[in-house]
Structure 1
Amino acid sequence: MAKGQGRVLAQNKKANFEYAIEETMEAGIVLQGTEIKSIRAGRVNLKDSFARIDRGEVRIINMHISPYEQGNRFNHDPTRTRKLLLHRKQIDKLIGQTQQQGYSLVPIKMYIKDGFAKILLGVGKGKKKYDKREDLKQKQMKRDVDRAMRDRDY
């Protein structure tokens, strides 16, 4: 775990495969009612989610937070658009970075820090198919080397 992060509740494992992440930024999130209880229970999914800058505000779209079991009529819409909390300078910096061709805002992980739900946002450029293949080759070679070193020790 990185310094200062609490317990990781959800990770977008595809983010590093689909995008070349160049910079990360921590953001708070505006939640309604029972959403934090579902998040603390680990019932959140970042798989198909993405962030977008709309009218000077950063919003996360398609993040799925399952309804809370004891929430009855106070439950929320699982995939509603949620606002992210960033400073104005951070938003301006993100606007500049995402104006470039091919750059996107991708949520990488969600965690609890000092009692608050936080999202680690990454600014990344989409990888081409050959880049993804190269990453898979590198991963396989590393796995083979680790396996050979482990077997050699015996």
Structure 2
Amino acid sequence: MAKAKKKSPSSIARNKIARRNYDFIETLEAGLVLVGTEVKSLRQGQISFNDGYINFKDGEAWLVGIHIAPYDHAGHLQHDPDRSRKLLLHDHEIIKLQAKSEQKGLTVIPVSLYFSNGKIKLQIALAKGKNVHSRKEELKRRDIAKDTARQLAKY
């Protein structure tokens, strides 16, 4: 009998601004509580990570500030596109993230959304915000690396 192959997660969306504005300290995978029209809309890739972040309230983690567009063919039973969505994490993970996010300069942000074994998962990260100076330095380093690669490719 052959073993079933594990499917690699297929990406739905990434928070592109997160890598630019934050340094990731630790990442975790979390499940999401969604309604049916949200899942169908996510399958079409209709999500925006604009100002999304993770909020902790009453021992639970909530995804706030994420816009999942309404599903076109849902009829009159539509979901609220900007509602807060509960994250499915273990209690010890919530306590640890909440304690670390209360430290000065640390926050928990959504990084990417993907399918894993038919379920929608959210990768979240404990992150520290970059200041403007360090972002400019990173851009300079990247430009210098590109220039040297071009120069080496000529020879």
User: TM-score, normalization: structure 1?
Assistant: 0.91
* Residue of structure 1 equivalent to 2:55: 52
2:128 maps to which of 122, 125, 130: 125
How large is the Cα RMSD of the aligned pairs? 1.6
Q: Is the 8 A contact 1:21 1:123 kept in 2?
A: yes
Unaligned runs of 5+ residues in structure 1 are none
Is the partner of 1:53 in helix, strand or coil? strand
* 1:22–1:132 distance in 2 versus 1, CA, 3 Å: same
* 1:56–1:63 distance in 2 versus 1, CA, 3 Å: same
- What does 1:60-139 align with in structure 2 at a 5 Å threshold? 60-139=63-142
* Residue of structure 1 equivalent to 2:9: 6
Pairwise CA distance, 1:147: 2.5
Is the partner of 1:25 in helix, strand or coil? strand
Unaligned runs of 5+ residues in structure 2 are 1-5
Pairwise CA distance, 1:145: 2.6
Percent of paired sites with the same residue: 36
Q: Is the 8 A contact 1:33 1:75 kept in 2?
A: no
**In 2: Cα distance, 1:95 partner to 1:4 partner:** 32
Pairwise CA distance, 1:48: 1.8
Deviations 1:32-58 (A, max 9, x none): 131101111111111321111111111
Q: Which runs of 4+ in 1 moved over 4 A?
A: none
2:35 is the alignment partner of 1:32: yes
Is the partner of 1:77 in helix, strand or coil? coil
**In 1: Cα distance, 2:70 partner to 2:98 partner:** 32
**In 2: Cα distance, 1:126 partner to 1:39 partner:** 28
* 1:68–1:144 distance in 2 versus 1, CA, 3 Å: same
Pairwise CA distance, 1:72: 1.3
**In 1: Cα distance, 2:96 partner to 2:8 partner:** 23
Larger radius of gyration: 2
Pairwise CA distance, 1:19: 0.9
Pairwise CA distance, 1:149: 3.3
User: TM-score, normalization: structure 2?
Assistant: 0.90
Matched to 1:144, the amino acid is D
Q: Is the 8 A contact 2:7 2:117 kept in 1?
A: no
Matched to 1:34, the amino acid is T
